[in-house]
Amino acid sequence: SATEASSRLGPYQEDSRAQAQEVATILQELTRDKAVFTERDIDAYLKEYVPPDQQNQIKTELFRQAVHLVAEELPGKRTLARFTTREVLAEEEQAQTAAATLRSQPAKRLDPAAIEAAIAKRTMRPDQLDAFRRGLQANGIGVVQGRAGTGKSYMMSAWMEAHRDSGHRVIGLAPTNIVAQAMIADGFTEGKTVDSILYAAKKGLLDWDANTVLILDEAGMVSNDRMKTLLELAAERGANILMVGD
């Protein structure tokens, strides 16, 4: 919220040390919920929190400290400049390391009858059925990306049933409680938010093991730092994770 952001930024300071700290804080804010930001994001943030006569100075320093990514190509031969931070790149590298560890784990053993039963209970299009089977064959980690409204949740419930009826513990994960509760409504026995899982891990209360299968909905909404930690926890405990998102 604006109040929380203002609290983190504190009163505006003009000396160089305070300015450097403020720029670092702004970069953290810009990447709090997404890995990449644009000049428009910078302008909106500065307009909200930085005095007008200091905005250009801070913006110049933000551009200097940010990591400049390859521009996104837009229609009409236009491009959109994109930026991130060194911290975000480090988190992504750590997440990739955890993902590589997960990929070295075998897929969970499934009962062929459970697979066929999950298919028989629903009518899946060829693309849904292909995604369903690919997810079951994934070693340690699997990702399905699709546009909104393409039936990802429908297919995801089939993943859950195939693993559950093969004797595995299946946990539905989501970035928000609304989505987690929707997973329970779709038949998941357990539906939890990513934040609740990270909190449980921090308190030493996480009870995952090699029989655990995690199914994460709306994966694209999970911030880099949370995703990194989630993958590391799954890899440490031998759990498999299947993810879907836009």
Q: Alpha-carbon distance 131 to 137, whole Å?
A: 10
Greatest extent of the chain over all pairs of C-alpha atoms, in Å: 69
* 37 DSSP assignment: B
Q: Give mean pLDDT, residues 21-47.
A: 93
pLDDT at 3: 52
**Alpha helices, DSSP H, located in 31-125:** 39-49, 55-65, 86-103, 112-120
Take residue 124 and report the two structure tokens written for it. 């899946």
pLDDT at 8: 54
pLDDT at 97: 96
Q: Are 177 and 134 in contact (CB under 8 A)?
A: no
pLDDT at 145: 86
Q: Alpha-carbon distance 226 to 238, whole Å?
A: 18
pLDDT at 34: 85
Average pLDDT of the chain to the nearest whole number: 90
Which of the two residues, 152 and 58, has the higher pLDDT score? 58
What DSSP letter does each residue of 105-137 carry, written as one string?
SPPPP--HHHHHHHHHTS---HHHHHHHHHHHH
Is the pLDDT score of 176 beyond 90? yes
Take residue 214 and report the two structure tokens written for it. 């995690």
